[in-house]
Structure 1
Amino acid sequence: MTATCPAPSTAPDPAPAAAFPIADTACRVVSNEPVNAEYRLLLAEAGPAALTAEAGQFFQLKCPPTTLDRPFLRRPMSVYRIDRQNGQIGFLYKVTGKGTRGLSTLVPGDTLEAIGPLGLGFTLPAGTRHVLLVARGVGLATLTPLVQMARAAGAEVTAILSARNPAMVMSRDELAAQGARVIEVTDTAGDSDMAQVEALLRRLHAEQPFDFAATCGSNRLLQLTKALSAEWQIAGQAAMEAFMGCGMGMCYACVLPVTAPSGETIFKRVCREGPVFSIEEVQSW
């Protein structure tokens, strides 16, 4: 099997600039509060272009400097909440480096500069009746808006939330409020290993068959969801992450190997051809 990287002039580009509005929006911060010991929820007022965001898309956020850090590049952040009624967007993030440390200093009334929405989001096949979401850690941030999308399309949603311990299980209330059936598995409870998760998914599928699956946040969960989707012959998608430069497909800093229909390994940009890919083509999260 050979790996080829297409030249910029011939690279696939299914997301032309006119496919959706993109704007550099100055958003007023509404709140920026911790949700547990590791993650924070940043809510900001957004303009019309930002509010067109769909599940799976992301924004490039300008991170404020601090006394210790001066981030140069913007940080890609999956949209976690799209509240069109109140004109707000939200981002769930973990403070891990200079960029997110800068974001954590924002207070209500500050300005958050956000370019977006960017990338290709989730697409539900017509007639989808039962959606399976499988996520761990920050992957929950990316999949949460998919519940709203699926429910609006008339589909039931079952969300499997995996974490180290119950305190790290995020979004349970938000997902449940949107109508999802939420099932938690944790390392401390001993039910998050792949054998038990697989048994759980098979039991749920036997009770009410899934016809679409989505995953994010764990390579082990990706491989399990990929295998079961193939076995059950259902559509599936995976939201991917990568280090990015521009976030708009120009710098080619975020390419990842995927499997083409021919079986050949090719490279695609997470920011442009993704971040949501068909589960059949992704190789590793």
Structure 2
Amino acid sequence: MLELEDAVEAPQCCHSSQGCAPEPQFAVAENLCRVVSNQWVNDEYKHLIVNGPEVALRAQPGQFFHLACPPDQNGAALLRRPMSLYRVSPHEGTIEFLYKVQGLGTRGLAGLRAGDTLDALGPVGRGFTVPASAGHILLLARGVGLATLTPLADWARSKGVSVTAVLSARSEGLVMSADYLKEAGANVLIVTDEDGTSQVDHVEALIRSTHAARGLDYVATCGSNRLLQLLQRITADLDVPGQIALEQHMGCALGACFACVRPFRKQADTQDLTYRRVCWEGPVFDLQETVSW
């Protein structure tokens, strides 16, 4: 484990419709982390494990780290890259990321080797808030969006909460985290484009039958506009609360630069819009307040 820089104080900036966003209840630091491993899990994704200092190990489900990506042969990314938390193990002293190698920043990350240093600002953002009374929750995501939801399975196991996880991908070979979620006690349902089970009507029937068999108390999703619209419709009909973790390009990740602003409904039952920073008011937002894209 390497040096931990001084924690930085997150700025207080006014939210356009709700006054000033409250001071976050977590520390943010520039963490210099030692790479433990950085392995391919399939043709598109890599799994990165690093040793993190104490402040980084306090990361909660839904939070993220702002990574300084090292250069590759084509140069270096100008800005840091936001990366959602995949797993954190305070006992082992490790933080894990699951990422798709597709651009300059992630190609730089892909070149990290055991023993290298990764500069990870965080933990940043406001994570998931599951109702205290929840006994059964649904996780629904596609592709790398699964990485953001996986920490909720660990949380649920620690609280005695049951989990149903619907994992969507183009093919069976691109389904990730299924074994880990099963080990965490989740009921895992896999749907793919390859066999046609990822069609919206099939996924909707799957969720509704799950709710009918054992009521859902909360749902969470990440990243997909199609899944957002699907869950908005279902949860409004079934009166089930839910949240979505959003993916967004960012500048500072601390709410100061306003580079990650998106429109949201002021309340779930209105079409009146406001604007919120994904890094500061999120990245996790109320399902019904989130505007589809």
- TM-score tier after normalising by the smaller chain length: over 0.9
Query: When the two structures are superposed, what TM-score results if normalisation uses the length of structure 2?
Result: 0.92
Of stretches 32-41 and 212-221 in structure 1, the one that deviates more from structure 2 is 212-221
Amino-acid identity (%): 51
- 1:217 to partner: Cα distance: 2.7
Closer/same/farther in 2, CA of residues 34 and 10 from structure 1, 3 Å limit: closer
Unpaired runs of 5+ in structure 1? 1-7
1:87 partnered with 2:88:
no
Note if contact 1:58-1:76 (Cα within 8 Å) is conserved in structure 2.
yes
Give the SS at the match of 2:48: strand
Note if contact 1:13-1:272 (Cα within 8 Å) is conserved in structure 2.
no
Note if contact 2:14-2:20 (Cα within 8 Å) is conserved in structure 1.
no
**Root-mean-square deviation over aligned CA pairs:** 1.2
Instruction: Tell me the alpha carbon deviations over residues 35-64 of structure 1, each in whole angstroms, 9 at most, x when there is no partner.
Output: 111000000000000000000000000111
Separation (CA, whole Å) in 2 of partners of 1:277 and 1:67: 37
Separation (CA, whole Å) in 1 of partners of 2:82 and 2:22: 18
Separation (CA, whole Å) in 1 of partners of 2:290 and 2:20: 17
Give the SS at the match of 2:74: coil
2:181 aligns with one of 172, 175, 178: 175
1:99 partnered with 2:77:
no
Separation (CA, whole Å) in 1 of partners of 2:262 and 2:134: 29
Separation (CA, whole Å) in 1 of partners of 2:21 and 2:135: 27
Flag as ranges the 4+ runs of structure 1 deviating above 6 A.
Answer: none
Unpaired runs of 5+ in structure 2? 1-12
Aligned residue pairs total 277
Letter in 2 for 1:276: V
Query: When the two structures are superposed, what TM-score results if normalisation uses the length of structure 1?
Result: 0.94
1:162 aligns with one of 151, 160, 168: 168
Letter in 2 for 1:232: L
2:21 aligns with one of 14, 18, 33: 14
Separation (CA, whole Å) in 2 of partners of 1:171 and 1:239: 17
- 1:67 to partner: Cα distance: 2.2
2:6 corresponds to: none
Separation (CA, whole Å) in 1 of partners of 2:177 and 2:122: 23
Structure possessing the higher relative contact order (Cα contacts under 8 Å, 6 or more residues apart):
1
1:266 corresponds to: 274
2:290 corresponds to: 282
Note if contact 1:41-1:91 (Cα within 8 Å) is conserved in structure 2.
yes
1:231 partnered with 2:237:
yes
Instruction: Tell me the alpha carbon deviations over residues 61-115 of structure 1, each in whole angstroms, 9 at most, x when there is no partner.
Output: 0111122111111110001011111000001001111110110010000001100
